Amino acid sequence: MHSSTSKRGVLPGFGITMGYSVLYISLVVLIPLSALLLNSTGLTWEKFWDVATDSRVLASYKVSFLTAAAAGLIDTALGLLIAWVLVRYDFPGKGIFDAMIDLPFALPTAVAGVSLTAIYSANGWIGSLFEPLGIKIAFSPIGITLALMFIGIPFVVRTVQPVLQELDAEVEEAAATLGASRFRTFRSVIFPELLPPLLTGFALAFARGIGEYGSVVFISGNMPMKTEIAPLLIMSKLEQFDYAGATAVALMLLIISFVLLLLINSLQRRVRKTAK
């Protein structure tokens, strides 16, 4: 005999959970963004456009987005490799190696920035090896990219790792039985399953890199038009009590970031539908 009443879930009903969700999003996301928009109302549209498209501001956007994209792409490749090693192989010290992946989450970003600057500067352990070759790592876009790679790698590894663990080994064995090479098995069987989490990991690393400040401010050198990132320019305007100008730069950065992430998420959904 079937009961006419619906099954009770573990969590409360839709009304309560939806109310708490909206309240949380409003307090953490919507209200701060609304304050950002209100702070920009002190500028006319012409003034806002002049501030947001100033040559120095545009140069900072270019540095931030290009280095964040480069770091995200490199992290995607390295993150896949690291996740593969952690899931598919057993070796001494695996637990320690696995725990080290999360260090960028726990380590203050300013400490990471100082450490990276000391290592990759002209007098550092690694920077001194490249200096005679004319390659400048610290105080250049290369150094910024390295810093963003450091803080972004956990997002890719922790996104791909669970998917790799859930992959059925029998499917790979069947492909091998049918004569598929290792490369073809990876390309045709494994990679389609990993592409959505890889896109997610890239989007997370990219988004974190755009707004990163602490780990980049030291190693970038903060040279206007060359290595100055957008978050640093925002801080500079705040220190000069130019709140409207800082808000204009931040709002433009937010809009561009939102559009790019929306495109990445649309691509991710399309890939998932294709995989199904």
116 and 166 in one domain?
Answer: yes
Is 199 in contact with 264 (CB distance < 8 Å)?
yes
119 and 28 in one domain?
Answer: no
Residue type for position 111: V
219 and 191 in one domain?
Answer: yes
Residue 9 reports pLDDT greater than 80: no
Q: With the CA atoms of 180, 181, 185 and 188 taken in that order, what torsion angle do they form, in degrees rounded to the nearest 10?
A: -70
29 and 54 in one domain?
Answer: no
22 and 155 in one domain?
Answer: no
256 and 219 in one domain?
Answer: yes
Q: What is the pTM of this model?
A: 0.81
240 and 224 in one domain?
Answer: yes
For residue range 16-72, list pLDDT tens digits in order. 777 767 776 666 666 666 666 665 556 677 887 888 889 999 999 999 999 999 999
Alpha-carbon distance of 178 to 168, in angstroms, equals: 16
Is 215 in contact with 147 (CB distance < 8 Å)?
yes
82 and 13 in one domain?
Answer: no
196 and 76 in one domain?
Answer: yes
Residue 259 maps to which CATH number?
1.10.3720.10
Number of structural domains in the chain: 2
Is 252 in contact with 80 (CB distance < 8 Å)?
no
Q: What is the pLDDT of residue 237?
A: 86
Q: What is the pLDDT of residue 35?
A: 62
138 and 71 in one domain?
Answer: yes
* Enclosing domain of residue 104: 45-275
Residue 108 reports pLDDT greater than 80: yes
Task: Tell me the average pLDDT of the chain.
Answer: 83
Q: For the chain, what percentages of helix, strand and coil (3-state, to nearest 5) are there? A: 75, 0, 25
Q: What is the pLDDT of residue 224?
A: 87
Q: What DSSP designation does 6 have?
A: P
> What does the radius of gyration of the chain's CA atoms come to, in whole angstroms?
23
Residue with tokens 């997002």: 155
In this structure, of 7-11, 95-99, 223-227, the range with the lowest mean pLDDT score is 7-11
Q: What is the pLDDT of residue 5?
A: 47
Alpha-carbon distance of 189 to 272, in angstroms, equals: 14
For residue range 230-274, list pLDDT tens digits in order. 998 988 888 888 877 888 888 888 888 888 888 887 887 787 777
60 and 12 in one domain?
Answer: no
206 and 124 in one domain?
Answer: yes
Alpha-carbon distance of 250 to 234, in angstroms, equals: 7
Residue 155 reports pLDDT greater than 70: yes
Residue 146 reports pLDDT greater than 90: yes
Identify the three-state secondary structure at position 169: helix
φ, ψ of residue 5 to 5 degrees: the values are: -80, 145
Residue 142 reports pLDDT greater than 80: yes
Identify the three-state secondary structure at position 217: coil
